[in-house]
Structure 1
Amino acid sequence: MRPSLHPDFLRLPIAHRAFHDAGSRRPENSLPAIRAAIREGYGIEIDLQPSADGQAMVFHDDDLDRLTYDTGAVAGRSMAELQRIRVRSSPEPIPTLRQVLAEVAGRVPLLIEIKDQSGVMGPTNGVLEAAAASALQGYDGPVALMSFNPSSVAHMARLAPEIPRGLTTFAFPASEFPADMGPELNAHREALAAIADFDAVEASFISHHWRDLDRPRVAELKAQGAAVLCWTIRSTEEEAAARRIAQNITFEGYPAAQS
């Protein structure tokens, strides 16, 4: 089963980590940034990390240091503990996926990225994926799931087969992996760069790095009917270049124009 993206995912520019601006007290992945994106009529991209008790938290980093006034691993704190930690520049704490779903309530498309938990885009225990699937039960707004890690996308294919899923992709340079990478891990890295798992996980779209959109594999997938999104656009000039190939953009740092 390969469900297709809702048409709004190809129509509305997608605000990266929501429509964030720390100077306006709406930091990335925060509820104020979510509300701002809804007001402006943008699609929303968010990130998920797990709490210690297996709940899906809307947060990009795997540690608290950059984005909060606390320190340590996100996965080392319970949901209740994380809900007491305020996001920097925001009056509100780290939200749960359930809170974001209640806030969005189907008004704009929601693109959810499941962050890799393996460190090498390899096999994952499925805890975060199960939490995401549980939170999404009964949600009837336009939503899609993606991950850099094909293992996560494969979990979602089993847990929530009705939700469109895709791969977040780029060139996967060796610098992104351990320095002592052996032949097996290097082969895995090359498979990631080749987007080799697209059919195996029954993906319907990719979100590819915009500077690498001229990769032949991107053209091949697009010709086969895959939707092509891209990340992360930061100017109107970058947007114009990306839209020559991509059907939609994920953007931040400027107000993307709406058609």
Structure 2
Amino acid sequence: MNRLGPSFLRQPLAHRALHDVKDARPENSRAAIKAAIEAGYGIEIDVQLSSDGAAMVFHDYDLKRLAKDSGPIQQRSGVDLGRVILRGSDEGIPTLAEVLALVAGGVPLMIEIKDQDGIMGANVGRLEQAVARDIEGYQGPLGVMSFNPHSVQQMAIHAPLVPRGIVTSAYTAEDWPLLPKGTRNRLREIPDFDSVGACFISHEIEDLGAPRVADLKARGADVLCWTVKSEAQEIRARKVADNITFEQYLAKLPNS
């Protein structure tokens, strides 16, 4: 099992890149990625699947909140999505291949694979295969993760040498109203960590005190967390977490 490179535990990860739509840097945009690189931060991005099997760097399942269009991203081709303009900018939705070329190993890059099943089930595979194709041969600090353990297992099959982890949560009914109670109860305990060959978790900041997080940390797992939104939150998070994913402020860089 490959472990995260040391830079993943040193350089804070900019959540959806260093975004600030007021400064023409929308979430997961090229401008936000370039800003993170220039600042020396690591980068966390999200990927969704186009209708023709391309891994697109985009967070939501629907275009409406983030782009000047609407409708499910999965119903549009990669070329078409590249023409859909992100709100607050003049750029279209980038492909994962474009982002990999832009980062080019300069800073650590964490790819979150969004659940394609709908309820964290096993109906996944196409997006994971697309990600694996794109990252093959990539040179530089790289990690992949997903809330859905089935997606992480797919990455173990298709990109076994890339460090992989599970995005984890308290899975409250309030925050996850569409997820069945039994699924929430199961995932809360992070039961798949060993079976998928994970080497890290990225855990919800409000739940870092969970006994299972302490157990995994004691066993040597790297613990990242999401999403830190202030210096005060960062101080609290770092009492448990090895590194943070942040937004809405500028996290402290090592040796700064």
TM-score for both structures, normalised by structure 2 = 0.97
Deviation at 1:172, TM superposition (A): 1.1
- Equivalent runs, 1:168-247 vs 2, <5 Å: 168-175=167-174, 176-178=176-178, 181=180, 186-247=181-242
Letter in 2 for 1:47: D
Distance 2:12 2:211 in 1: 24
Distance 2:170 2:123 in 1: 21
Deviation at 1:178, TM superposition (A): 3.5
TM-score for both structures, normalised by structure 1 = 0.96
Distance 2:177 2:220 in 1: 31
Distance 1:69 1:116 in 2: 23
Mapped contact 1:124–1:152 kept (Cα < 8 A): no
Mapped contact 2:124–2:150 kept (Cα < 8 A): no
Mapped contact 1:120–1:177 kept (Cα < 8 A): no
Deviation at 1:141, TM superposition (A): 0.8
Distance 1:235 1:42 in 2: 16
- Equivalent runs, 1:11-50 vs 2, <5 Å: 11-50=10-49
Mapped contact 2:13–2:246 kept (Cα < 8 A): yes
Q: Summarize deviations over 1:188-219 as a string: whole Å, max 9, x none.
A: 32220000100010100000001100100000
Distance 1:152 1:142 in 2: 20
Equivalent residue, structure 2, for 1:109: 108
Deviation at 1:125, TM superposition (A): 2.8
Mapped contact 1:172–1:193 kept (Cα < 8 A): yes
Q: Secondary structure at the match of 1:174?
A: coil
Equivalent residue, structure 2, for 1:56: 55
Deviation at 1:255, TM superposition (A): 0.8
Letter in 2 for 1:196: P
Distance 1:148 1:84 in 2: 29
| Runs of 5+ consecutive residues of structure 2 not aligned to the other structure | none
Q: Secondary structure at the match of 2:56?
A: strand
Following superposition, which runs of at least 4 residues in structure 1 exceed 6 angstroms of deviation?
none
Q: Secondary structure at the match of 1:228?
A: strand
Equivalent residue, structure 2, for 1:153: 152
Aligned length: 253
Distance 2:173 2:246 in 1: 26
Percent identical residues: 55
Distance 2:56 2:206 in 1: 30
Equivalent residue, structure 2, for 1:137: 136
Deviation at 1:173, TM superposition (A): 1.8
Deviation at 1:177, TM superposition (A): 4.2
Equivalent residue, structure 1, for 2:67: 68
Mapped contact 2:115–2:147 kept (Cα < 8 A): yes
Distance 2:205 2:177 in 1: 21
